[in-house]
Structure 1
Amino acid sequence: MHGDTMDLFHPLIRDWFEEQIGDPTDIQAKAWPHIANGEHVLITAPTGSGKTLTAFLWALNRLITGDQPTGRVGVLYVSPLKALNNDIQRNLLGPLRQLRHAFARERRPFPDINVSTRSGDTPQADRRRMVRHPPEILITTPESLNLLLASAAGRSLLPEITTVILDEIHAVFGSKRGTHLITAVDRLVLLCGEFQRIALSATVRPLETVAQFVGGYRLDGVEQYTPRPVSIVRAKTSKRYDLRIRYPDEPPDSAESVWDPVVEAVRKILDRNRSTLIFVNGRRLCERLAHMINTDAGGLIAYAHHGSLSRDIRETVEGKLKAGELKAIVATSTLEMGIDIGALDEVILIQSPFSI
């Protein structure tokens, strides 16, 4: 089954995959035939099952074989988090470098494939450069996609798109943000015609309703709309969770901070772990808790991560976390969805979370 799946790809891509990664995961083996067939697809699988590569590898195959022209944006990736976008860009550049070397060893041509991100953090100079020299793969957010569609310069990037990847679709499904996203995707159809839709999610229910949301309706004839069929691909995997709920003791002295026992409990967890991720509900608490942990430890062991920090600081913290160089990170929902953050020993939720 897996061997037959990999035969869909260029032989050197297949060889690279087998050498660097091994066998396809269950979700990859199931999804790639649907994607290669040009179907709209909703892929649901746990984090770490290879969903991102599942969505991108066939698009890379088309670019490398020449089925997808270069020199223009052909693949659009949309995620609800800027931090996730930066992570996706890094995770694409690595395989592209390896594939370029593999083709060079065999003296085979390899196209120039560029990957760019576009968000509120993107400097104006980079935005202008992007219009002059469009990347083959554009990574953006729902809000930035709407802004691109609203400007002539932005629209000039989009007419040749053949694949749209919607990541973490559960994060926007059923919300105003999700409605704006799908509206933007349908506006994109008016600009560049029909394209393949690939939606990814770790957790989403009900699948059939979400698939209909992703596919939307296609205009056939005059005032005749029909739903686009979307193939649902799900992984057969199970996870075991070690879940504990703790209620810190009330401070014996009313003058003592209610957070002191919380910090003490967190410090005990940090002492036994190599890397811990702590979620809180707001930016103010994020900064405060990180400061209290560091004060209690007598040194810098916990870093804060939230949307008000500069792009450089956020990316530095994310890089250190992924490299296993951080003892702890205190974050808001900026690190909530699908980011490749390396090996974690434990995740702590402070107070009742808005979402899990």
Structure 2
Amino acid sequence: MHADPLATFTPSVRDWFLRAFAEPTAAQTQAWPAIARGENVLLSAPTGSGKTLAAFLWGLDRLVADPSEGRTRLVYVSPLKALSYDIERNLRAPLRGIGGEVSVAIRTGDTPQRERQQMLRTPPDVLITTPESLYLMLTSRAREMLGAAEWVIVDEVHAVAQTKRGAHLALTLERLEALAAVQAPQPLQRIGLSATQRPLEEVGRYLVGPSRECTIVDTGLRKPLDLEIRVPVEDMREPGEHDVVDPAVGGMGTAAGGGDLVGRGIEPVSDLAGTDGSDPAAATRRSIWPAIYPELLELVRAHRSTILFVNNRRGAERLAARLNELAAAADASDAGKQGNGSGPPETIAPAEIARAHHGSLAREERLVVEEELKSGRLPCLVATSSLELGIDMGAVDLVIQVESPKSVTRGLQRIGRAGHGVGEVSKGRIFPKFRADLLECAVVARRMREGLIEETVVPRNPLDVLAQQIVAMTAADEELSVPAVHDLVRRAYPFAELGRELLDSVLDMLDGRYPSEQFAELRPRIVWDRVNDTIRAR
């Protein structure tokens, strides 16, 4: 192993890196030698440790040193569309500094048809995509551009490894491997990026499959946390009212997803601000939101850039709107005091300090709000899980979580959006909404401080996922040998123990041999020749 982690790179890449950075991070120092040797690597490091550049730089170096036109050689897979666009932006600086002619393209569900056709005519050197788009590409004419793939980078692998979506991706990677093996003399090199997981060996097996070796690079560092739980009321239970851990009244309360302590719902802005002569304390006794909103607004205004996480899209839209209304009311009140003292005007001018961000936003709007937060023009972004993974949000100095994040891993991921740079402290504030939520928040926060994350469990043999992938495989090829399909499927870790009997049951179902007449209206998807043991699309 070289003492200098940059020794294996070409002079242009090495010179650019030394101009741009003082020195490699621990993650880069440990990962680059293994990646340069062609090993499959799982790199586990905290947010802001430079692991994305650690994964990309060797591939970019090879693309500059040994260019080839019309071949997509590096595939990057992100679980989030927003992260895909972020990565594409972040690659511009090293590509300019290195000076090579390396083309980069994004293929997601948002990609216009014109750009998709352009990719087919002129395949990019680097393809940035999502698990679902990669699956669709392997089932269409676009698979021809993937046959020359040499490296595949799977970002935020921990976010999918424990789900059926992850099992789906594992099979897609095996299909990509089989396609690349036709042209490439060496196996596809897999590089996985992950936040801290337990055990890392299980995530490594998920990344490469049961029959391949994986080098695990664990920097062993935890980001310093400035973490507090904020309870904005003295008592989260009122005598004589229903218990918040019981089913909610009328579908309005917490147990029904409404988020209110008792059945009345969210108070109007006039009640929140106390401008109509009502008693704010009385409103607080009916709902915890009037107590939460002012504290949220105070925290947002005390910091340069804030991400506020909620657990659903409706909550994100609603909370952003309430913060803007409350900010407008407060600004108008201050203006009235500074003027003639007659109080705020009847019409309150809108003051947009917060906007919502979630997966349902159009691509253009999503990019606009991300850029506004990064540039400092927008003080607060109210987000769902759409912003919790590796996106570089720049100068975010506070993360607020309303309600428990539901897991230690998710809590660390979200709070880690603040202080995204190397060595910076991540500052987070958690607001529980009801008593049971307070208990959960306390447990999650304690385990976050101690680094006691949940154990990773990879799902085994999800047959619905298998059925979908088999239909896609038959659509892409004229005829497939069932034993060959069985071997390919078992190379994916979630299906490593799949027996032939289970596979045959799936093929029976896809061929129209249903266990009950209730399924008779379902159209068969494949033809299974049991004599020759082959399958093809119907």
User: TM exceeds 0.5?
Assistant: yes
Query: Does the alignment pair 1:212 with 2:205?
Result: yes
1:345 matches 2:375: no
Residue 51 of structure 1, CA deviation: 0.5
Cα deviations across residues 295-323 of structure 1 (Å, max 9, x unaligned)? 01111111110111110110111112222
What is the TM-score with the length of structure 2 in the denominator? 0.60
Residue 149 (1) aligns with residue 138 (2): yes
Question: Cα offset for 1:261?
Answer: 1.3
Q: Which residue of 2 aligns with 1:72?
A: 71
- SS, match of residue 203 in structure 1: coil
**Does 2:201 correspond to 1:201?**
no
Task: Quote the offset at 1:248 in angstroms.
Answer: 2.4
Contact 1:76–1:161 under 8 Å retained in 2: yes
Q: Deviations over 1:247-273 (max 9, x none)?
A: 222663259654221111101111211
Counterpart for residue 231 of structure 2: 247
CA distance in 2, matches of 1:205, 1:120: 32
Q: Which residue of 2 aligns with 1:325?
A: 377
Partner of 1:83: 82
Instruction: Summarize the Cα distance change of 1:71–1:3 in structure 2 as closer, same or farther, 3 Å threshold.
Output: farther
CA-based RMSD of the aligned residues comes to 1.6
User: Identity over aligned residues, as a percent?
Assistant: 50
Aligned-partner Cα distance in 2 for 1:307–1:173:
20
2:16–2:94 Cα contact (<8 Å) kept: no
Which of 311, 325, 330 lines up with 1:295 in the alignment?
Answer: 325
Matched letter for residue 273 of structure 1: H
Give the corresponding residue for 1:167.
155
**Aligned residue pair count:** 335
Name the counterpart of 2:245. Answer: none
Q: Give, in whole Å, the separation in 2 of the partners of 1:319 and 1:137.
A: 23
- Unaligned segments of structure 1, at least 5 residues: 101-109, 218-226
Per the alignment, in what secondary structure is the counterpart of residue 6 of structure 1?
coil
Structure 1 residue 352: Cα displacement: 1.9
Q: Give 1:276-287 correspondences, 5 Å limit.
A: 276-287=306-317
Could you say which residue in structure 1 is the equivalent of 2:269?
none
Q: How does 1:1-356 map to 2 (within 5 A)?
A: 4-66=4-66, 69-100=68-99, 110=100, 112-151=101-140, 153-193=141-181, 194-217=187-210, 227-249=211-233, 252-254=281-283, 258-298=288-328, 299-354=351-406, 355-356=410-411
CA distance in 2, matches of 1:35, 1:10: 15
Kept in 1, the 8 Å contact 2:107–2:129? The answer is yes
Q: Which runs of 5+ in 2 are unaligned?
A: 182-186, 237-279, 329-350, 412-538
SS of the residue corresponding to residue 157 of structure 1 reads helix
Divergent runs of 4+, >6 A:
none
Given that 1:2 and 1:24 are in contact with CA atoms closer than 8 Å, whether structure 2 keeps it comes out as no
SS of residue matched to 1:116: strand
Q: Is the 8 A contact 2:84 2:106 kept in 1?
A: yes
Paired residues of 2:283 and 2:290 also in contact (CA < 8 A): no
Aligned-partner SS, 2:392: coil
Bigger Cα displacement from structure 2, 19-28 vs 320-329 = 320-329
Shift of 1:150: 1.2
Task: Check whether the contact 2:2–2:33 (CA below 8 A) recurs between aligned residues.
Answer: no
Amino acid across the alignment from 2:225:
Y
Query: Relative contact order (C-alpha < 8 Å, sep 6+): which is higher?
Result: 1
SS at match of 1:242: strand
TM-fit CA distance, 1:96:
0.6
Q: Distance in 1 between matches of 2:391 and 2:3?
A: 29
Alpha carbons of 1:42 and 1:75: their partners in 2 closer, same or farther (altered >3 Å)?
A: same
TM-score by length of 1: 0.90
AA paired with 1:38? G
Report the Cα offset of residue 345 of structure 1.
Answer: 1.6
Between 271-280 and 255-264, report the one with greater CA deviation. Answer: 255-264
Q: Deviations over 1:23-56 (max 9, x none)?
A: 1111111111100000000000011111111001
